[in-house]
Amino acid sequence: MQKVFNLLGATAFLMSGAMAVGSAVLYTRIPSITKHFMGELQTELTKIVTDMVPAVDDVMPELPSATGPAIETPKLPF
């Protein structure tokens, strides 16, 4: 029975150590994981916005080809 308890204790120690090492590795990799995720998100958003842009061009009115006369400011009396 003592051997079973020793085995369980050693297994628990190894699992705790593996979890601590895994957490440390994950913590150091968070910036690169975040950068990768943001890059994918920007690519996906760029595709979505690019698909929406032609619809905006159809709605925009045409620019005028000529303008009206110039506006003159009134002359000051002094």
More confident residue, 76 or 7: 7
Give pTM, 2 decimals. Answer: 0.46
Query: pLDDT, tens digit, for every residue of 26-72?
Result: 999 999 999 999 999 999 999 998 887 777 667 778 888 888 888 88
DSSP 77: -
| Amino acid at the residue 55 | A
Going by C-alpha positions, the residue among 27, 20, 1 that lies closest to residue 12 is 20
Q: The tokens 């709605």 sit on which residue?
A: 59
Angstrom distance (rounded) from CA 62 to CA 57 = 10
